Structure 1
């Protein structure tokens, strides 16, 4: 198995061990072994059909490998239950336009795992939701039904949902699809800041090759079939006084206001 870092003591956040995945008779991923250490930023690049989204779905438990094993935070995904430690923005959200939830309810749902999904919100949790709404410039949409929004607005809602709980692992599958260029630029600044200064591990798929390679380097760390893994290690201690992501999201908001 390829180990990304020579740092020795950093926890493996995602371990992919000899994984195969097939749709019916078509093999999409085969013999993939890869380990992602805490505070790595991994960019997945590949043509359509190379297995990028399939791999992300396996990591978040939406698909099961045909064979092989995936471990999260050192625990087999079969036994993993701490899903609130992971933020995930899928490539496309198959959303029923009649789904009755409001924007605020969708963002708030990112605060809860199955263990505490029916607990009442604390003031701190309400503030976290407000911060995420504000950062993504959707606070004025808070009481709108999610199905009434445009695709770009919905994507901002799901970004806010993924960020609201200060995840340890943030998985982003084309996170800026449907978002204007200025907002994309601000978003990339925010996640670079988050990676450099916070205890967060990133896995991201993006077709913005210039952005990916400018931050992650021009040469992949590993290839598997049509998949290329670009990696930047940030294993130094965090150097932000703030311990949560509120100020990072505030930075995004301020960037957006300057750009517009």
Structure 2
């Protein structure tokens, strides 16, 4: 079977002269930047530089006070295909009293507004099981999310972001509160996803060593106090896998058996 071909240069995120201010206090000023299909973009900056604000504008939670944003070629105000985007916010934005099990949290990543109240299908349940296994939290599936440790909660939110096979994965400090071994395994996982799947990454991190080890020593662009490190994946021959959660389950099994190192 012939594998699907991808343009690999289609714009996924386009920022044009974007600014944002809280109560007239400038946070981000005149940022222009484009993320192409299959880019891995690391966003680095000091506290208060506006990194999280930038991500929240891209996922539609904040509206720019100036400039424009496009997602997959459409102005953000007209964009409706939010299931194409997986988003993991900072852990401190989560209400620990939220009354849901880990399985329910992960399954919620499959639902858009039209599917919110539909019954969970067998295929949905399999995707959930695969995502739970990939993040090594299948034994926590029936626990309330608020009962988990910080690292366990973050794994659950990562599973939620991955379950819908997103074309764009946006991560805001995804490894905060996770032990070193799990951080290494997670970073190996997302590198594998970037290299072998048609998926684009935008990730905020304070881990300069991790960012530079994969994305290079120098930023491709600077905007105010924010640096953008970029690596583009051209392994088109490996883009044929579309069942991402199945692939993650296989990778997890390979890691556990020692066939894949971290």
Note the residue ranges of structure 1 that are not aligned, 5 or more in a row.
1-7
Q: Assess, with a 3 A threshold, how the Cα gap between structure 1 residues 257 and 100 changes in structure 2: closer, same or farther.
A: farther
CA distance in 1, matches of 2:29, 2:257: 45
1:255, distance to aligned residue in structure 2 (A): 2.4
Whole-angstrom distance in 2 between the partners of 1:68 and 1:257: 50
For structure 1, which segment, 142-151 or 8-17, has the greater mean C-alpha deviation from structure 2 after superposition? 8-17
Q: Match for residue 4 of structure 1? A: none
Structure 2 matches for 1:111-126, cutoff 5 A? Answer: 111-126=110-125
Other-structure match for 2:3: none
1:250 corresponds to 2:250: yes
CA contact (8 A) 2:84 2:168 kept: yes
Counterpart of 1:3 in structure 2 is none
Alpha-carbon deviation of 1:229? Answer: 0.4
Asked if 1:187 corresponds to 2:223, the answer is no
Distance apart, 1:257 and its partner CA: 6.6
TM-score (norm 2): 0.91
- Aligned counterpart, 2:72: 73
Distance 1:117 1:197 in 2: 31
- CA contact under 8 A between 1:183 and 1:256: conserved in structure 2? no
State the shift of 1:151 in Å.
Answer: 1.1
Gaps of at least 5 residues in structure 2 are 1-6
CA distance in 1, matches of 2:186, 2:249: 9
**In the comparison of the two structures, how many residue pairs are matched?**
253
Q: What SS does the aligned partner of 1:231 have?
A: strand
Q: Which residue of 2 aligns with 1:153?
A: 152
Decide whether aligned partners of structure 1 residues 256 and 185 sit closer, same or farther in structure 2, where only a CA change above 3 A counts: farther
> Within 5 Å, which residues of 2 pair with 1:35-184?
35-184=34-183
Give the 3-state SS of the residue equivalent to 1:115 in structure 2: helix
How far apart are residue 49 of structure 1 and its match? Answer: 0.6
Structure 1 pair 191–148 and aligned structure 2 pair: CA distance change class (3 A) = same
CA distance in 1, matches of 2:95, 2:232: 39
1:73-100: CA deviations, max 9, x gaps?
0111111111100000001243333321
SS in 1 for 2:32: strand
- Alignment CA distance shift 1:196-1:150 (3 Å): same
What is the TM-score normalised by the length of structure 1?
A: 0.92
Contact 2:87 2:161 in 1 (8 A): yes
| Alpha carbons 1:38, 1:200 under 8 Å: kept | yes
Per-residue CA shift, 1:154-200, capped at 9, x if unaligned? 11110000001110000001111111111111111111110011000
Whether the 8 Å contact between 1:46 and 1:226 is mirrored in structure 2 is yes
Conserved 8 A contact 1:107-1:157: yes
What residue in structure 2 maps to residue 19 of structure 1? 18
Alpha-carbon shift at residue 251 of structure 1 (Å): 1.4
Tell me the CA shift for residue 24 of structure 1.
Answer: 1.4
What is the rounded CA distance, in whole Å, between the counterparts of 2:256 and 2:153 in structure 1? Answer: 18
